[in-house]
Amino acid sequence: MQPYDIIIVGAGGGGMYAAMEALQTNPKLKIAVVSKVYPTRSHTSAAQGGVNAALANRHKDDTIDLHIFDTIKGSDYLADQDAATILCEMAPYVVRELENLGAPFSRLEDGTIAQRPFGGAQKYRCCYCADRTGHTILTTLFEQCLRQGVHFLSEYYLLSLEHDGQKAQGVVVMNMQTGKIEALPARSVILATGGYAKMYWQKSSNAAGSTGDGIAAALRAGLAVEDMEFVQFHPTGLRKSGLLISEGARGEGGYLVNNKGERFMKTYAPEKMELGPRDLVSRSIEIEINEGRGFDSDAGQYMHLDLRHLGADLILERLPQIRMLAIDFEGVDPIKEPIPIRPTAHYSMGGIDANNDGATAIQGIYAVGECSCISVHGANRLGGNSLLDILVFGKLAGRHAAQLAPSLNPGAISTSAVEKSLKEIEGYSHHDRTERYGELRDELGKTLGANAGIYRTKKKLEKGVEDIMAIKERFKNVRVNDSSAVFNTNLFQVLELKNMIALAETVARGALAREESRGSHSREDFPVRDDEKWHKHSIFHMNEKGDITLSTKPVTMGKYPLQARTY
Ligand SMILES: Cc1cc2nc3c(=O)[nH]c(=O)nc-3n(C[C@H](O)[C@H](O)[C@H](O)COP(=O)(O)OP(=O)(O)OC[C@H]3O[C@@H](n4cnc5c(N)ncnc54)[C@H](O)[C@@H]3O)c2cc1C
């Protein structure tokens, strides 16, 4: 088979922007986008609140510098400042490019793109399409990719990433419709497979498919992954399902209220109130609940998000989707009643270690979007900066890969790579196997929630690691009961679980090692940020036996010195 010039794994915003840019850079290239779900079902479509860019449409004094500073402060000074600078400098360009491609942004009276306030930002900077921003961006990009002739391999599952130690060779995938395993040789591979917060299972805002597959494939292929211990908990997930109620709801003026009827954020962020950064607001909710000021229910303790004072007109115009989510999943109409919420695992700051072009240590292999750690979000991402991240670095990686690919010779993917996957998959249906997928998945989610959640201690994390290692051992005996070759969802769930277990181990081990509190990582036993010992990135590798090893690398600083982080 003739190699592809570029294979992009992932059809979310990151993957599709990369595909579009790569084809624009060199229209002669043969490019394919591989995705385990139909492209428009990628998690990007669930993004609600918006994308940040210092357009200064609402606040005329907003600047790119302020955006850079907010991003670095939000990251608790762990973001690489050169990368954060690129992110914010390119923001106005990519948002306007999207607008020109047809993304229907909400408008101000003067016809310019509407902007709303978002957590941790000094100015109104978040550009939005009502509360369906991700959906509109994703469909716009899909249309453009189809128009330009990007080839989509929808419902193909990535099994392994292949390279010869120096350069990319391609990927091994399974055609989910037929069960056939195929080697797809490529000069260049861009991983854009999204995040891993679904490992928290019932306590996650993520799509079922956000299981970190690309990051786990990179780990197994010997690549470095970075800062995995930093998992963002979004303050406002629905009480029962963990589904997201966008920060846009607080951006538009929603209040967080405890069982005493108090807007409790005045205790924790007197200036920014509900629009403090996510790590701070989530911790505040936890404290209120732990101190007995939460509401009780069978689904656990929760808080109120009150939008009633915003009025029906505003809610229907700017927050229609979250209203429907509250009605469908909690039976509560936000026009008439407060929404029951609690923090929910939402975003993976960690991911595949990549440079400012999205390039990894292996020539021709790139990582962009939520599966990458470039690192622009450091220890805590600001709302509206992830859609931005996938667009900016999707674009840069697509361009870089398109320029480099023609000079690379991929060689062949060895038949043993395909045979290895085949053997593994056949093994899962062996009748001696007794462990059930559902049990292991639930136990993984529970131990992560209990032991590697918002507040962490040495004792809890040690228990977390112990539990994860036990689950990893039991996984060796997991059985796929469905023997069908056609859409064997049981098999894909098991493969996803394998990936989540590998990444859960990095989360818990990284959190145990990091004896400080920074951004989303709050250690009750080390409550203070320790710049002397821990102002550095965590780096994880997997050795041939499957064990995780841990090292560190320095943070790239720039013109913003370390400061205390208050709001
Ligand atoms: C509910 C919700 C709301 C959000 N709201 C906002 C917001 O308002 N603003 C903001 O900035 N950010 C927001 N975020 C974060 C942001 O949407 C995501 O970080 C971002 O969209 C991720 O995009 P991506 O391109 O990296 O990956 P995704 O959109 O997650 O796409 C991943 C792709 O990889 C493919 N894939 C994965 N594994 C495999 C495999 N094994 N084989 C083949 N294909 C595979 C999938 O099929 C999919 O196409 C939100 C996130 C959530 C969950």
* 328, 312 contact by CB (below 8 A): no
pLDDT band for position 312 (50/70/90)? very high
CA dihedral 48, 49, 53, 54 (to 10 degrees): 170
pLDDT at 552 exceeding the cut of 90: yes
- The verdict on the CB of residue 301 being under 6 Å from ligand 1 is no
For the structural domain made of 415-530, what CATH number should be given?
Answer: 1.20.58.100
pLDDT band for position 412 (50/70/90)? confident
- The verdict on the CB of residue 134 being under 6 Å from ligand 1 is yes
81-101 and 64-74 helices cross at what angle (nearest 10)? 120
- Which pLDDT value is given to residue 94? 97
- Which pLDDT value is given to residue 550? 98
Average pLDDT over residues 77-101: 98
- The verdict on the CB of residue 386 being under 6 Å from ligand 1 is yes
Residues in contact with 338: Cβ distance below 8 Å, sequence separation at least 6, in sequence order: 257, 304, 305, 306, 307, 308, 332
CA nearest 85: which of 325, 356, 339?
356
- The verdict on the CB of residue 251 being under 6 Å from ligand 1 is no
From the CA of 50, give the closest atom in ligand 1.
8
CA nearest 155: which of 179, 138, 171, 136?
179
- The verdict on the CB of residue 133 being under 6 Å from ligand 1 is yes
Enumerate long-range contacts of 465-474, CB under 8 Å, 24 or more apart: 465/505, 465/508, 465/509, 465/512, 467/443, 468/444, 468/501, 468/504, 468/505, 468/508, 469/505, 471/440, 471/443, 471/444, 471/447, 471/501, 472/501, 472/505, 474/435, 474/440
pLDDT at 1 exceeding the cut of 80: no
User: In the sheet where 536-542 sits, what is the strand order?
Assistant: 372-373, 351-353, 225-226, 536-542, 548-554
d(C-alpha 496, C-alpha 509), whole Å: 20
CA nearest 529: which of 481, 483, 563?
563
Q: Residue 12 C-alpha to ligand 1 middle, in angstroms?
A: 6
- Which pLDDT value is given to residue 567? 84
Q: Would you tell me how many other CB atoms lie within 10 Å of the CB of residue 111? A: 7
d(C-alpha 160, C-alpha 183), whole Å: 9
Which one of 3.40.50.300, 1.10.760.10, 3.90.700.10, 3.40.50.720 gives the CATH number of domain 237-343?
A: 3.90.700.10
Burial (CB < 10 A; 0-12, 13-18, 19+), residue 211, is buried
Q: Is 41 a catalytic residue?
A: no
Burial (CB < 10 A; 0-12, 13-18, 19+), residue 217, is buried
Residues in contact with 337: Cβ distance below 8 Å, sequence separation at least 6, in sequence order: 308
d(C-alpha 315, C-alpha 313), whole Å: 6
Average pLDDT over residues 503-526: 97
- The verdict on the CB of residue 157 being under 6 Å from ligand 1 is yes
Q: Which of 33, 138, 193, 213 to mutate to test the pocket of ligand 1 (most atoms within 8 A of CB)?
A: 193
Q: Would you tell me how many other CB atoms lie within 10 Å of the CB of residue 268? A: 17
pLDDT band for position 70 (50/70/90)? very high
pLDDT at 411 exceeding the cut of 80: no
- Which pLDDT value is given to residue 566? 86
- Which pLDDT value is given to residue 15? 98
Q: Residue 335 C-alpha to ligand 1 middle, in angstroms?
A: 29
Question: What separation in angstroms does the CA of 299 have from each of 157, 198, 202, 275, 309?
Answer: 34, 19, 11, 26, 27
d(C-alpha 317, C-alpha 335), whole Å: 12
pLDDT band for position 438 (50/70/90)? very high
Average pLDDT over residues 381-389: 97
Sort strands 31-35 and 51-52 into parallel, antiparallel or unpaired: unpaired
Average pLDDT over residues 65-70: 98
Residue nearest to atom 3 of ligand 1 (CA): 47
Tell whether omega for the bond before 375 is within 30 degrees of 0, i.e. cis.
yes
> What are the phi and psi torsion angles at 494 (to 5°)?
-65, -40
Residue nearest to atom 13 of ligand 1 (CA): 47
Residues 25-49: pLDDT tens digits? 999 999 999 999 999 999 999 999 9
Cite the DSSP H helix spans in 476-529: 489-513
Enumerate long-range contacts of 422-425, CB under 8 Å, 24 or more apart: 422/181, 425/174, 425/181, 425/491
Q: Residue 204 C-alpha to ligand 1 middle, in angstroms?
A: 13
Average pLDDT over residues 452-477: 97
Question: What separation in angstroms does the CA of 422 have from each of 159, 313, 427, 462?
Answer: 10, 56, 8, 35
* 167, 3 contact by CB (below 8 A): no
d(C-alpha 90, C-alpha 65), whole Å: 12
CA nearest 421: which of 225, 180, 166?
180
- The verdict on the CB of residue 159 being under 6 Å from ligand 1 is no
Q: Which of 42, 94, 159, 349 to mutate to test the pocket of ligand 1 (most atoms within 8 A of CB)?
A: 42
pLDDT at 203 exceeding the cut of 90: no
Q: Is the pTM of this model over 0.95?
A: yes
Average pLDDT over residues 153-181: 97
385-404 and 133-148 helices cross at what angle (nearest 10)? 20
Residues 336-373: pLDDT tens digits? 999 999 999 999 999 999 999 999 999 999 999 999 99
- Which pLDDT value is given to residue 370? 98
pLDDT at 502 exceeding the cut of 80: yes
Using a pLDDT cut of 90, give the percent of the chain over it. 97
Options 58, 125, 132, 278, the catalytic residue = 278
H or E segment and range at residue 318: helix 312-318
Pair of tokens at residue 230: 């930093």
Residues 295-307: pLDDT tens digits? 999 989 999 999 9
Q: Which residues of 349-386 are buried (b: 16+ CB within 10 A; e: fewer)?
A: bbbbbbbbbbbbebbbbbbbbbbbbbbbbbbbbbbbbb
- The verdict on the CB of residue 235 being under 6 Å from ligand 1 is no
- Domains in the chain: boundaries: 237-343, 415-530
Q: Which of 8, 17, 20, 44 to mutate to test the pocket of ligand 1 (most atoms within 8 A of CB)?
A: 44
- The verdict on the CB of residue 454 being under 6 Å from ligand 1 is no
* 454, 343 contact by CB (below 8 A): yes
